[in-house]
Amino acid sequence: MKKTAVEFLFHELWNRNKDKLEWHSVLKEAIEMEIKQRRDSFDEGFISGFDKSKFMTSEEYINQKLK
């Protein structure tokens, strides 16, 4: 089973040196993982038969919700 971005973040921070630069690096990676997971989930929703032309793309969704 794949780790969620939150699980990844927890385990990485637990096992890494406890300094700001290290934690910032792990946080950035977790955010990228979260964006990919949301994009994949969003795109999977269209497989079930929705007309893609009537909805926003995953990139538009991510930009609107996370940035």
Angle between helices 5-15 and 20-46 (to 10 degrees): 160
Residue 7's pLDDT is what? 86
* Res 5 pLDDT > 80: yes
The residue among 12 and 52 whose pLDDT is bigger is 12
Three-state secondary-structure class, residue 4 = coil
Q: What is the pLDDT of residue 56?
A: 65
Q: How many domains does the chain divide into?
A: 1
CA angle 41, 59, 66 (to 5 degrees): 80
pLDDT digits 0-9 by tens, 22-65: 888 888 888 888 888 888 877 776 655 565 556 666 677 677 76
Cα distance between residue 8 and residue 22, in whole Å: 14
Would you tell me how many other CB atoms lie within 10 Å of the CB of residue 61? Answer: 16
* Residue-number span of the structural domain to which 21 is assigned: 5-66
